[in-house]
Amino acid sequence: MPRIAVGAFQHETNTFAPTRASFAHFERGGGWPGLTRGGKIFDTVAGMNIPITGFIDAARPLGWELVPLTYAQASPSAQVTDDAFERIAGMLIEDLKGARGIDALFLDLHGAAVIESHEDGEGELLRRIRALIGPELPLVASLDLHANVTPEMMAHADLLVSYRTYPHVDMAETGARAALLLDRLLKAKRKPAKAFRQLPFLIPGVWQCTLVDPAQAIYGSLEPRERDPILSLSFNAGFAPADIFHSAPSVLAYGWDEAATERAAETLARDIAAAEPDFRGKVWDPREAVRHAMRASDGRPVVLADTQDNPGAGTDSDTVGILEALTAERAENAAMGLVADAEAARIAHQAGEGAEIAVKLGGKSDGRPFAGTFKVVKTTDGRFTATGPFYGGSRMELGPMARLAIGGVDVVVASKKVQAADQAMFRHVGIEPAQKRVLVLKSSVHFRADFQPIAAEVLVVAAPGANPIDHTTLPYKRLRPGIRLMPMGPEFRP
Ligand SMILES: [Zn+2]
């Protein structure tokens, strides 16, 4: 019976974001479980839409004995501190040293982690692990669609396989695919050929959505292209707010024949490059968006995506630009979430339901809070289980939460940040999202999995935040010279 070691290290790093990820951030997790080691991993991740869960579930019918290592993830943010990385990498290495007689290793990785001292976080982690396990032991890892893949990551892993959906509804499925691919490597008793290409332009996250073209057509073409001798093809749309040399979309190909694998990577990269002009869409000003939404709601909500303060891209989820627009336009039956502000939540809990409180809400990340008098409609403990296709099964612990009302606007305030991508986040404070006319969500794309089915329309809005749609506004210093900052946009020159 093959013994397969499994572990996870997940962080998506926005090097322009305000707050770094310390060891404490990994201990408490956020959205998904906090730091877990050993056999407890199995129960902790059960039923969740994440790669390690999909891998574990797929391994059972294969008859593998799984050896659990360390599971660590933290919400996207600025760089992972050296302290956090060294401690977590140390745990993975220590657990691997203790896992004698393993036949292969699976890692659930993101692919866009930046450490204070290592801009290629996963490359450094894989380098250390490869040094320990030696060149022969098969090492397969799953990656996020937003991975900024590097040549080092390619070199140290035998096979990297990435999500194919954004919203990421296939995270568990990708873990299962990794298991089936590892099974093929183990049965073939040989290593596949690899090919790697990087695209010459950055793609804003909000235009990477796989529910529409060009991403839909590109991702839809991957499976039909995987014909023998090609084992696996991945397209990583990349994570642009990362000022590192290898920040770029990339194509990964694996197969049993070197020339065919190179050809498959080249053809896919060429087809993606041909779609460069199509990675774009309309961006709305906040007040224009609110006015349009009030007119366009047909009983169903118009959703305003507050993408530039999407905590899923590493921001603090606390800017209030769209709240200002909602109150200025006297929006009715509107809701906005989630504003991460532990101080406002605490004041609301102290005052109690029904009370009026004068607070400066949010804006700690950019120094521009919303000062107003809010009615405390509801206070809750922030513990609930997500129900949508993206976060489904995840047990949320967002600390004290409050529903605060001002005029016709309800603001959902949480003590911890999490991407507003699940209707349960609103129901938890007594709001039925489908009954709102305007819904403001701090999310770029993931919200679409659960909210697009109830929305009359979705508008992408540019309000303050550390995840700008227009990368030409970011002070890049480290990118590869010549890469275009936007699709069809200007080239980066250091
Ligand atoms: Zn992602």
pLDDT band for 234, please (50, 70, 90 cuts). Answer: very high
Tell the residue number behind the tokens 């070199």, with chain if given: 155
Identify the CA nearest to 124 among candidates 100, 90, 78: 90
294: CA distance to ligand 1 center in Å?
31
pLDDT band for 373, please (50, 70, 90 cuts). Answer: very high
Q: Where are the domains of the chain?
A: 3-278, 286-468
444: CA distance to ligand 1 center in Å?
11
| Token digits of residue 203 | 């793609």
Nearest-angstrom CA–CA distance, 486 and 471: 6
For 67-81, write each residue's pLDDT tens digit: 999 999 999 999 999
270: CA distance to ligand 1 center in Å?
23
Would you say the C-alpha torsion 5, 6, 7, 13 has a positive or negative sign? positive
Nearest-angstrom CA–CA distance, 23 and 320: 29
30: CA distance to ligand 1 center in Å?
15
360: CA distance to ligand 1 center in Å?
32
* Dihedral Cα 134, 140, 141, 142, nearest 10 deg: 170
List residues, by chain if needed, whose CB lies under 5 Å from ion ligand 1: 144, 146
425: CA distance to ligand 1 center in Å?
20
445: CA distance to ligand 1 center in Å?
10
427: CA distance to ligand 1 center in Å?
25
- Model pLDDT, residue 374: 98
For 379-402, write each residue's pLDDT tens digit: 999 999 999 999 988 999 999 999
Nearest-angstrom CA–CA distance, 211 and 298: 23
443: CA distance to ligand 1 center in Å?
12
Per cent of the chain over pLDDT 70 is 100
Q: What is the mean pLDDT of residues 337-364?
A: 98
- Model pLDDT, residue 37: 98
363: CA distance to ligand 1 center in Å?
25
3-state secondary structure of 322: helix
309: CA distance to ligand 1 center in Å?
15
Q: Is the pLDDT of residue 179 over 90?
A: yes
DSSP, residue by residue, 468-483:
-S-GGGS---SSPTT-
489: CA distance to ligand 1 center in Å?
23
Identify the CA nearest to 140 among candidates 154, 151, 150: 154
Supply φ then ψ for residue 390, to 5 degrees. Answer: -90, -60
Nearest-angstrom CA–CA distance, 423 and 417: 15
Neighbours of 475 (CB within 10 A): 6
pLDDT band for 488, please (50, 70, 90 cuts). Answer: very high
76: CA distance to ligand 1 center in Å?
10
pLDDT band for 29, please (50, 70, 90 cuts). Answer: confident
Pairing of strands 159-162, 409-414: unpaired
- Model pLDDT, residue 100: 86
143: CA distance to ligand 1 center in Å?
9
208: CA distance to ligand 1 center in Å?
10
**In sequence order, what E strands does 11-127 have?**
36-37, 65-73, 104-109
Identify the CA nearest to 422 among candidates 404, 399, 443: 443
Inter-CA distances, 432 with 49, 167, 405, 426, 451, Å? 24, 22, 15, 7, 12
201: CA distance to ligand 1 center in Å?
18
Q: Residue 377 in contact with residue 404, Cβ under 8 Å? A: yes
Identify the CA nearest to 232 among candidates 193, 205, 201: 193
284: CA distance to ligand 1 center in Å?
23
Q: Is 136 exposed, middle or buried (0-12, 13-18, 19+ CB in 10 A)?
A: exposed
Neighbours of 430 (CB within 10 A): 12
147: CA distance to ligand 1 center in Å?
7
108: CA distance to ligand 1 center in Å?
13
Q: What is the mean pLDDT of residues 83-100?
A: 97
For 427-479, write each residue's pLDDT tens digit: 999 999 999 999 999 999 999 999 999 999 999 999 999 999 999 999 999 99
374: CA distance to ligand 1 center in Å?
34
Q: Residue 334 in contact with residue 410, Cβ under 8 Å? A: yes
255: CA distance to ligand 1 center in Å?
25
Q: Is the pLDDT of residue 31 over 90?
A: no
239: CA distance to ligand 1 center in Å?
8
448: CA distance to ligand 1 center in Å?
14
DSSP state of 494: -
pLDDT band for 347, please (50, 70, 90 cuts). Answer: very high
162: CA distance to ligand 1 center in Å?
10
144: CA distance to ligand 1 center in Å?
5
pLDDT band for 188, please (50, 70, 90 cuts). Answer: very high
Tell the residue number behind the tokens 């140290």, with chain if given: 156
356: CA distance to ligand 1 center in Å?
39
For 263-284, write each residue's pLDDT tens digit: 999 999 999 999 999 999 999 9
165: CA distance to ligand 1 center in Å?
9
Q: Is the pLDDT of residue 30 over 90?
A: no
- Model pLDDT, residue 451: 98
pLDDT band for 173, please (50, 70, 90 cuts). Answer: very high
168: CA distance to ligand 1 center in Å?
7
Q: Residue 418 in contact with residue 396, Cβ under 8 Å? A: yes
145: CA distance to ligand 1 center in Å?
5
320: CA distance to ligand 1 center in Å?
24
312: CA distance to ligand 1 center in Å?
8
- Round the average pLDDT of the chain to a whole number and report it: 97
240: CA distance to ligand 1 center in Å?
11
Cis peptide bond N-terminal to 338, omega within 30: yes
Q: Residue 270 in contact with residue 253, Cβ under 8 Å? A: no
